[in-house]
Amino acid sequence: MQKRIMIEAKAAIQERQKRLELGIDLHPRSKEDIMSWVGYLKFVEKDSIYYGQTYEVSVKLPSSYPMDPPQVSFVTKIFHPNVKYETGEICLNLLKKEEWTIATSLYSLMIALQSIVNGPNCDSPLNLDSGNLFRNQDIVAYKSMVDYCYYENDLKHE
């Protein structure tokens, strides 16, 4: 299992520039703990409601990785139907044990996160307010809440 993690860590270093251009940065938090990773999703597509915003993601690998999925959560608060605002918990089928496959890399997981942020699934939202605004296509109010919550993160760190 450690071999797979080392391969992914090496790829993260070697392909970092290409991945940054796509808005993804992902690497172990430290050389001492390769089971704890930090990811950053920067939304670089101009048509994204989240354009220009960067969100930190925590990735905790179980000792059984890649047989079992990692625990993934948003560290940066995000207003989104599939993310619980208070905890950063993510509703993504790929993260469920029964949906996870050994072929899924951490990088492809980050791509899936980027994809669900840009295209929410409102059938079973973790954030009901966000889900209702998105489902009702109140894009102006939704974008206002996205921006408000994002900039609230900055205010908490000042």
Task: Supply the residues annotated as catalytic.
Answer: 91
CB 81 within 8 A of CB 126: yes
How far from the centroid of its chain's Cα atoms is residue 41's Cα? 6
The residues, ordered by sequence, that sit 6+ positions from 100 with a Cβ below 8 Å of its Cβ are: 68, 69, 94
Burial class (CB in 10 A: 0-12, 13-18, 19+), 73: middle
